[in-house]
Amino acid sequence: MSDATLGAATRKAAGLKAAAQEASALKAEKARKLDAEDPLAAVRSSFVLDDTVYLDGNSLGALPAHVPARMADVIERQWGELRIRSWEESGWWTAPERIGDRIAPLVGAAPGQIVVGDSTSVNVFKALVGAVRIAGDGRDEILVDAGTFPTDGYIAQSAARLTGRTVRAVEPDEVPGALSGRTAAVLLNHVDYRTGRLYDLPALTSAIRAAGALAVWDLCHSAGALPVGLDEHGVDLAVGCTYKYLNGGPGSPAYLYVSRDRQDAFDSPLPGWNSHVEPFGMRGVYEPAAGAVRGRVGTPDILSMLALEAALEVWDGVSMTDVRAKSLALTDYFLECVDAYVPEGRAECITPYDHGRRGSQVALRCADAGAVMRALADRGIVGDFREPDVLRFGFTPLYVGFADVERAAGGLGEVLGEDLGEDLPEGLRG
């Protein structure tokens, strides 16, 4: 290579680097301004965080800082000293409904309609079979979201075998046209776990109920990230986990919502002594308790349940309107920074840009997604990926800041741009 060619290449590389540094400085300054104006910024200090950019709250939320001390009391005093007395004196027995009432305002429900306990999968089973039983014998088909989280599909198939129904998978947007007099229940995800697509819960619920069927919603990727409006929109039954945006801890118990107007008819496929009208009567014939309590089964998982109860205190005084506004602002800014930092053609956004169709997650499709995410983790940026080629970034408004967003997009740009230096002369790469 001639000296003139080398000099031109050097000047071009230097110019590109200077332009990139200027763009980065502008983005970082904008992030500082947005963080300074954030009405939820103070909530960040309620969590145990470090220098890692944590964008995987859509899989496991961060630890609220006060939970360890609260759990020490549960273990040392309530369990260690009071022992069996804690079922009454420490309120263990009423925890499933009490904690359900703490979750209720976060999903737009009045008290007395949510019970906490069991896993999401178990609650999907209870809700779906219960919905089919309410619908009656004349309706022999269950509709299920074609792109649903696999377990929901498995459970729908099992529920169909148990109740003598059939299952038909449809895209959520196609549900109104697929409904008929045969439809017993429809199981849908509020936010798609893979793409972050938000579905129209009010319109779909209205269509389902107008057809005489029951709407069952999976809220795992929406509760704690955006308003849901269960009561307002006439949802029949809903389920959700608590370890994502609700920050309840790994494997924290899920919850079941049964609307007040469906509670008397709700016939759980898993009746247990905890949901009996007289639980300590030990009677041989099952008679369900009134209200949401009939969603209980057996002895609740007290340790994880009380950790969840403590974790939910971070929501005191938090407006879901502010949460949604920040969620959209964070994801907007991430997309803006990705456009600025990521080399053209290296990643494709599969999350809707439209606010009305976006949850609190951005999903990007790119080659070697697993290797890309591992390289990001090496830079202190944590998201996750789904086979075969999807990068997922979850934005928890309570503790993710705009500086985190800018740093994550910058790191992604570095990782995806590493191969672009191969055409430069040796010594100018890197």
Q: Torsions phi, psi of 221, nearest 5?
A: -105, 15
Determine which one of 244, 296, 326, 346 is catalytic.
244
Provide the 8-state DSSP code for 342: S
Dihedral over alpha carbons 156, 159, 163, 167 (to 10 degrees): 10
218 is catalytic: yes
Q: Can the peptide bond before residue 269 be classed as cis, meaning omega within 30 degrees of 0? A: no
Backbone CA torsion sign across 397, 399, 402, 407 = negative
Determine which one of 341, 392, 402, 407 is catalytic.
392
Which single residue is written with the structure tokens 């790994």? 250
**Residue 194 φ/ψ region, left for φ over 0, alpha for ψ in the -120 to 50 degree band, beta for the rest:** alpha
- How deeply is 395 buried, as exposed, middle or buried, from its count of CB atoms within 10 A (0-12, 13-18, 19+)? buried
Give the CA distances from residue 129 to residues 18, 144, 291, 299, in Å, rounded to whole numbers and listed in that order: 61, 13, 17, 21
Please give the helix or strand (H or E) that residue 24 lies within, else none. helix 3-36
Three-state SS at 237: strand
168 is catalytic: no
385 is catalytic: no
Determine which one of 56, 101, 218, 236 is catalytic.
218
Backbone CA torsion sign across 336, 338, 341, 347 = negative
Determine which one of 47, 54, 149, 255 is catalytic.
149
| CA separation for the pair 291, 147 (Å, rounded) | 32
243 is catalytic: yes
| CA separation for the pair 236, 244 (Å, rounded) | 23
Determine which one of 243, 245, 257, 266 is catalytic.
243
149 is catalytic: yes
| CA separation for the pair 266, 185 (Å, rounded) | 13
Amino acid identity for residue 72 in this structure: A
Dihedral over alpha carbons 166, 171, 175, 181 (to 10 degrees): -20
Active-site positions read: 149, 218, 243-244, 392
